Structure 1
Amino acid sequence: MNQPLTLEELKQVMAEADLLKTEADVEAALDKLAQEITARISESLPVVYGIMNGGLVMAGRLLTKLNFPLEQGYMHATRYRGETTGSTDLQWQAPPSVPMAGRTVLILDDIFDEGNTLAEVVKACHAQGAKEVLTAVLVNKVHDRKNTELKIDFIGMDVEDRYVFGCGMDYRGFWRNAAGIYAVKGL
């Protein structure tokens, strides 16, 4: 397990990080997502779930741009259980908070990296009777290790295949609150 980081180490990570997307870039991506989502589901009385923890920042910023009636819920699912490699079993830290049977469901998350956990969340929503399940991510990490079973319906922006943080994505638990999207130096 990693040693706890000091304040100085965390400040150093930010000072050395490469800024990949500015706060203005993030805002433009959120506006784009809001337009696309509104065009697709504004007449469906959807339930919108942000996946904790990473999707919290993105969901909070995006929901205020969706100017139509929706029901908002939250969920926290993981496949990691404290490990660095995921298992195939989905573990609910907080199960979906709003019933989804017969509903259009929109899942919001910070990043589409490999997509294995998100794919399991989508399957779980279908199993709970959702009429349709759509996915939206702020960031799509560009590489060829994607779960091919998962299709992302709405993507805010692409980033290169690096260790990124900010806008909900973390560096060892920290910097989710950074307004832009950064890459750790050398990673």
Structure 2
Amino acid sequence: MNDTVNSLNTTFDEADCLADKATVEAALDRMARAITERFSELDPVVYAVMNGGLVLAGSLLPRLPFPLELAYLHATRYGNALKGHALDWRVPPTHPPEGRHVLVLDDILDEGLTLAAIVDTLRAQGAASVSSAVLVHKCHDRKAYPGMRADFCGLDIEDRFLFGYGMDYKGYWRNAPGIFAVKGH
């Protein structure tokens, strides 16, 4: 095994599990019920925010029993870093939002700068409405604006460096079967 794999395995082995797979799955079920209630008659377009929103989209969409169109976009402030930087639009929205009810799926609402910019962009492009859904709301007071929350949220989690279910640690462990916090972060 190379040093990178050893280091990544150590990070996983030492991490604290903050929400196990069963807890996450129950949160996804709750989110799906609320999203269905809101969107089932609206013919929405759902944008998965790459890369973090990919796992949420794959886990959540089969729980939504109504027609929808799936699209994606890729905007990030993190890349593979542990701290955010300027917003980088890697792929603009792949489906025009004009006149459509939009749901944006992302892994986490941390400070919310990326999600706020995405929502603002979709509104500026003429979406009839824009809602957001995140698996994790990180609990702290450093949001893009006071009281910021996604319209649909699975779990409120403490302010630590998280990975799993789409959230990464240095580009890895998006596939971890739960929500984990890096030891010491």
Q: Same-fold call, TM > 0.5?
A: yes
Please tell me the residue identity of whatever aligns with 2:10. Answer: Q
On the 8 A contact 2:109/2:149 being kept in 1, the answer is no
Structure 2 CA distance for partners of 1:185 and 1:151, relative to 1, 3 Å: closer
How many angstroms apart in 1 are the aligned matches of 2:47 and 2:3? 31
Gaps of 5+ in 2: none
Q: Secondary structure at the match of 1:157?
A: strand
Q: Deviations over 1:14-38 (max 9, x none)?
A: 1111010000001001000000000
Q: Paired residue for 1:91?
A: 88
| Residue in structure 1 matched with residue 162 of structure 2 by the alignment | 164
SS in 2 for 1:30: helix
Question: Secondary structure of 1:6's partner?
Answer: helix
Instruction: Report the identity percentage.
Output: 56
In the comparison of the two structures, how many residue pairs are matched? 182
Which segment drifts farther, 97-106 or 141-150?
Answer: 141-150
The letter of the residue matching 2:18 is L
Give every structure 1 segment of 4 or more consecutive aligned residues whose post-TM-superposition deviation is greater than 3 Å.
79-85
Residues 117-156 of structure 1 deviation map (CA, whole Å, 9 limit, x = unaligned)? 1100000001111000000000001011111174410010
The counterpart of 1:145, out of the listed 132, 138, 142, is 142
TM-score, normalization: structure 2?
0.93
In angstroms, what is the RMSD of aligned CA positions? 1.7
- Unaligned residue ranges in structure 1 (runs of 5+): none
Decide which of 87, 91, 100 is 1:103's aligned counterpart: 100
Question: CA 1:17–1:63 in structure 2 vs 1: closer, same or farther (change >3 Å)?
Answer: same
Note if contact 2:80-2:171 (Cα within 8 Å) is conserved in structure 1.
no
Give the TM-score taking structure 1 as reference length: 0.92
1:70, 1:43 → 2: CA distance? 10
Write out per-residue CA displacement over residues 43-97 of structure 1, whole angstroms, 9 at most, x where no aligned residue: 000000010011110111000100100000010013457874422xx43211111
Distance 1:81 1:163 in 2: 14
Partner residue, 2:47: 49
Counterparts in 2 of 1:1-187, with a 5 A limit? 6-79=4-77, 84-87=83-86, 90-148=87-145, 150-187=148-185
